[in-house]
């Protein structure tokens, strides 16, 4: 039996509202980094109460085996990955994984990935009939009906995906925007008009690593998504650009990309993020969230700030 979401005891300075959901902390564990929510419960000292939400691994309509290895490669200040959306399929996640999650401890967000608009809509309907708190739409997926062009690189196609998902659920929808596009702010505007409730900014940046002995790409897929501290400056700029559009509609943002210390968290919030995503850092600092919460609280107390939300979008540009 899945436990129903209840109001959780939280640190008032870190307690935030995101798309109508109460988060214990602005910290969000990113999709692909914690499996389907059960992996980190095995680590001694880890608590779901340390985070505002957990984004589950990317889920497709049918099961997928993912790409051939190598699928991960460490790079300078970052990591390349091309997992290929390995997952058991949406219905299996709902039937077999969600019942094992404790919804009284934190929020859980499903991550939806499709190869057609129709597939996105079907996946949304499956998760709509589940206790999941919200859904993140991964639009950085290839549209098989359009020759493999990613939905996220075309504002019109991005909006069509959001519109289809919006018709299939009343639960909060968070659109994950790709940095690999010409105008991320225009894409955000189209997605807002289509009905998104929030944004995740940004997804990974396309990159490559080469084995100089074999003279071949390290990743079997040839290219992968770059994450980690190397992409932080890019992510900050993209958050700022999306915020200029989102703030007029009160659409919150999960800022993400290279966050490893509390100063990074503060930077993203000042740039316009309501919440921040922790991903690559978890691979070498699995208990980093507890440390970040403590340091964030100390920063807020030192600066006489009553709640972390008071910092959102307070960036003052140089004239």
How far is 139 from 173, CA to CA, in rounded Å? 12
Question: Domain map of the chain by residue range?
Answer: 16-311
Among residues 141, 165, 191, 289, the one annotated as catalytic is 141
Neighbouring-strand partners of residue 226:
80, 205
What's the confidence (pLDDT) of residue 7? Answer: 47
In the numeric block, which tokens belong to residue 46? 């880890």
What's the confidence (pLDDT) of residue 149? Answer: 63
Q: Where are the beta strands (DSSP E) in the chain?
A: 16-18, 21-23, 27-29, 53-59, 72-75, 78-81, 107-112, 134-138, 173-177, 198-201, 205-207, 210-211, 216-217, 224-227, 253-256, 275-278
What pTM value is reported for the model? Answer: 0.94
How far is 55 from 135, CA to CA, in rounded Å? 9
Per the annotation, the verdict on 190 as an active-site residue is: no
Helices of type H across 150-282: 155-168, 184-194, 232-246, 262-271
Residues 6+ apart with CB under 8 A from 317: none
How far is 104 from 225, CA to CA, in rounded Å? 33
User: Based on C-alpha coordinates, what's the Rg of the chain?
Assistant: 18
How far is 277 from 260, CA to CA, in rounded Å? 10
For every one of its 319 residues, what pLDDT tens digit does the chain have, with 9 covering 90 and above? 344 444 445 589 999 999 999 999 999 999 999 999 877 777 888 888 899 999 999 999 999 999 999 999 999 999 999 999 999 999 999 999 999 999 999 999 999 999 999 999 999 999 999 999 999 999 977 555 664 568 888 999 999 999 999 999 999 999 999 998 889 999 999 999 999 999 999 999 999 999 999 999 999 999 999 999 999 999 999 999 999 999 999 999 999 999 999 999 999 999 999 999 999 999 999 999 999 999 999 999 999 999 999 999 999 999 8
What's the confidence (pLDDT) of residue 47? Answer: 86
Neighbouring-strand partners of residue 206:
225
Under CATH, which number does the domain 16-311 receive? 3.20.20.70
């Amino acid at each position: 039996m899945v436990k129903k979401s209840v109001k959780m005891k939280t640190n008032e300075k870190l307690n935030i509202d995101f798309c109508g959901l109460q988060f214990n902390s602005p910290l969000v564990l990113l999709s692909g980094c914690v499996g389907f929510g059960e992996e980190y419960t095995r680590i001694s000292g880890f608590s779901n109460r340390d985070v505002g939400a957990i984004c589950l691994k990317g889920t497709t309509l049918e099961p997928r085996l993912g790409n051939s290895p190598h699928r991960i490669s460490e790079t300078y200040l970052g990591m390349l990955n091309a997992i290929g959306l390995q997952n058991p399929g949406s219905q299996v996640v709902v039937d077999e994984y969600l019942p094992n999650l404790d919804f009284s401890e934190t929020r859980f967000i499903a991550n939806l990935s499709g190869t057609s608009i129709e597939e996105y809509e079907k996946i949304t309907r499956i998760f709509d009939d589940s206790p999941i708190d919200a859904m993140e739409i991964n639009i950085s997926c290839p549209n098989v009906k359009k020759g493999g062009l990613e939905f996220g690189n075309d504002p019109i196609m991005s909006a069509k995906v959001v519109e289809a998902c919006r018709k299939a659920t009343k639960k909060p929808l968070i659109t994950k925007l790709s940095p690999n596009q010409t105008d991320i702010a225009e894409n955000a505007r189209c997605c807002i008009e289509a009905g998104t409730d929030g944004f995740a900014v940004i997804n990974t940046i396309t990159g490559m690593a080469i084995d100089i002995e074999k003279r071949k790409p390290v990743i079997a897929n040839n290219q992968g998504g770059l994450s980690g501290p190397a992409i932080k400056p890019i992510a900050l700029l993209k958050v700022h650009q999306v915020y200029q559009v989102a703030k007029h509609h009160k659409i919150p943002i999960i800022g993400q990309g290279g966050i490893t210390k509390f100063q990074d968290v503060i930077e993203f919030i000042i740039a316009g993020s309501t919440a921040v995503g922790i991903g690559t850092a978890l691979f070498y600092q699995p208990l980093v969230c507890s440390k970040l919460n403590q340091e964030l609280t100390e920063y807020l107390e030192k600066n006489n700030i009553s709640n972390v939300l008071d910092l959102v979008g307070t960036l003052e540009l140089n004239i």
